[in-house]
């Protein structure tokens, strides 16, 4: 916990607001079944601005000449703490997390209409959560009911998340330290899974292996539902049953990352279950690896968001033509989109507190955003060859994706996930050495 970092973020947002009130609630707890909950995960916007991980909390920012940040959180409650664990309570939270004021979340309905009175603007993310939409509407109506006493209600509602999105797109040194650590844990977990896998195992046995490595290194959770896809399963992009037997001669695609103190890593590796690529698997793998290398070269400051994708497409289109899987020229394959039979997703996304992180990909005028130092994105080309009449049988069911997490630096980039074994030689060596 770096108090100064979080206070600075709130100050930056207060300055962007200029005047008015921001309301940023955290995520609700979610029931899994009956009275069992899912493991709690805070809202990323709330956490980004507070560092406060408890449920039932809300941040209120008052911008203007006398800017203030106010936390609403659960009261201390010895009885509940015996069952559910420690809670800070407003008094301690105020000191520890550096708020100007803190109150019980039970006081929201009484205090929010007062805080909203005579404020020009409300900054709130309407539509994100029906519960909070209704509560905020109730508070606004309570203010409006007082107009005859000379009180005015905010005239406009602006999406507070848009302001924070721009901040979240540029990672601070503090965030990058966490992201490097998250990436390192996930890279080690992939290497461990690769060394462990062999024919006859079930996909979930390999999953258990990398989950073990996540948790024993301090990651709190997988950053998203892990994909452990042997053979044809790799051609189902969001496969996550993870319960099929791994066959000798098949490839295994693992897309898995962990979450460390809120920050996601997101890695995909594909390797042969038996430790040795067949000639055709190797050819397709080398094509995807070359596409990824070309994309990573383009991940540099000043280039637009789509430059890595375009570079990957050039290599993939060339390769698909050379394999006889697509017909025509590189340009025509890209223009007609015939490559989409084998590559139907994009080459990456922003990465941070959310695996598909906050931030725009296009400017308001419709152009791709420009990559800047501090951006973190994934670079993840792939090739998925399903059985089809226009595909020779020896290609069938080869599904390959290679995904790394890349930080844009002042001059180029840094691959945060560089420790995850990736070349054909290194994979075969690691799997032979086990």
Question: What is the binding site for Mn ion (CB under 5 A)?
Answer: 255, 266, 378, 403
Identify the CA nearest to 342 among candidates 290, 278, 397, 297.
397
Nearer to ligand GLY, 136 or 376 (CB): 376
Residue 65 known to be catalytic: no
Residue 309 known to be catalytic: no
The verdict on 204 binding ligand GLY (CB under 6 A) reads: no
State the Cα angle at 255 between 251 and 259, rounded to 5°. Answer: 155
Are the CB atoms for 68 and 61 separated by under 8 Å? yes
CA–CA separation, 284 vs 305, rounded Å? Answer: 26
Residue 131 known to be catalytic: no
Residue 133 known to be catalytic: no
Nearer to ligand GLY, 13 or 355 (CB): 355
Which of 54, 175, 255, 357 forms a contact with ligand GLY (CB under 6 A)? 255
Site string for ligand GLY, 366-395 (x = CB under 6 A): --------------x---------------
Residue 59 has phi, psi (to 5 degrees) of -105, 135
Identify the CA nearest to 213 among candidates 433, 420, 352, 378.
420
Q: How many CA atoms lie within 13 A of 74 on its CB side?
A: 17
The verdict on 266 binding ligand GLY (CB under 6 A) reads: yes
The 3-class SS string of 343-359 reads: CCCCCCCECCCCCCCCC
CA–CA separation, 302 vs 261, rounded Å? Answer: 30
Nearer to ligand GLY, 43 or 266 (CB): 266
Q: Which of 345, 346, 360, 419 is catalytic?
A: 345
Minimum separation from the CB atom of position 138 to ligand GLY (A): 37
The item of Mn ion, ligand GLY, none sharing an interface with residue 175, based on CB under 5 to 8 Å by kind, is: none
Q: Which of 54, 175, 403, 405 is catalytic?
A: 403
Residue 175 known to be catalytic: no
C-alpha Rg value of the chain to the nearest Å? 25
The verdict on 355 binding ligand GLY (CB under 6 A) reads: yes
Residue 304 known to be catalytic: no
CA–CA separation, 241 vs 225, rounded Å? Answer: 10
Minimum separation from the CB atom of position 213 to ligand GLY (A): 17
CA–CA separation, 381 vs 400, rounded Å? Answer: 9
Minimum separation from the CB atom of position 157 to ligand GLY (A): 31
Q: Which of 43, 266, 354, 404 is catalytic?
A: 266
Residue 286 known to be catalytic: no
Residue 110 has phi, psi (to 5 degrees) of -80, -40
For ligand GLY, the binding residues (CB under 6 A) are 224, 255, 266, 349, 355, 380, 403
Known catalytic residues are 35, 238, 255, 266, 345, 349, 356, 380, 384, 401, 403
């Amino acid at each position: 916990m770096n108090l100064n970092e979080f206070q600075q973020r709130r100050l930056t947002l207060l300055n962007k607001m200029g005047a008015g009130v921001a309301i940023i609630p955290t995520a609700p707890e979610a029931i899994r079944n009956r009275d069992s909950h899912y493991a709690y995960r805070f809202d990323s916007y709330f956490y980004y601005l507070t560092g406060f991980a408890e449920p039932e909390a809300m941040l209120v920012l008052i911008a203007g000449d006398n800017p203030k940040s106010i936390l609403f959180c659960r009261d201390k409650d010895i009885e509940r703490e015996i069952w559910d664990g420690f809670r800070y309570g407003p008094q301690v939270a105020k000191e520890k997390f550096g708020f100007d004021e803190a109150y019980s979340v039970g006081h929201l309905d009484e205090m929010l209409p007062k805080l909203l009175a005579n404020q020009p603007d409300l900054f709130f993310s309407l539509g994100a959560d029906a519960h909070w939409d209704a509560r905020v509407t109730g508070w606004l109506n309570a203010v409006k009911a007082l107009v005859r006493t000379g009180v005015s209600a905010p005239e406009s509602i602006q999406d507070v998340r848009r302001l924070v999105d721009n901040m979240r797109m540029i990672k601070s040194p503090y965030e990058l330290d966490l992201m490097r650590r998250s990436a390192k844990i996930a890279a080690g977990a992939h290497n461990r899974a690769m060394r462990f896998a062999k024919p006859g195992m079930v996909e979930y046995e390999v999953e258990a292996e990398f989950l073990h490595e996540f948790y024993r290194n301090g990651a709190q959770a997988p950053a998203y539902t892990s994909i452990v896809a042997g053979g044809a399963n790799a051609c189902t992009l969001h496969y996550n049953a993870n319960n099929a037997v791994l066959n000798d001669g098949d490839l295994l695609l693992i897309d898995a990352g962990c979450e460390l103190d809120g920050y996601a890593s997101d890695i995909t590796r594909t390797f042969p279950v038996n430790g040795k690529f067949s000639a055709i698997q190797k050819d397709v793998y080398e094509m995807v690896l070359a596409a990824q290398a070309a994309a990573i070269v383009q991940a540099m400051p000043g280039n637009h968001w789509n430059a890595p994708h375009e570079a990957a497409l050039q290599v993939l289109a060339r390769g698909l033509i050379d394999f006889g899987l697509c017909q025509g020229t590189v340009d025509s394959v890209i223009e007609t989109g015939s490559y989409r039979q084998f590559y139907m997703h994009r080459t990456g996304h922003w990465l941070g507190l959310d695996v598909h992180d906050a931030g725009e990909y296009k400017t308001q005028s419709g152009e791709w955003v420009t990559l800047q130092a501090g951006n973190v994105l994934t670079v993840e080309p792939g090739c998925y060859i399903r059985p089809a009449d226009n595909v020779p049988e020896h290609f069938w069911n080869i599904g390959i994706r290679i995904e790394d997490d890349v930080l844009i630096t002042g001059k180029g980039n840094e691959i945060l996930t560089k420790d995850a074994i990736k070349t054909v030689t290194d994979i075969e060596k690691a799997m032979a050495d086990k």
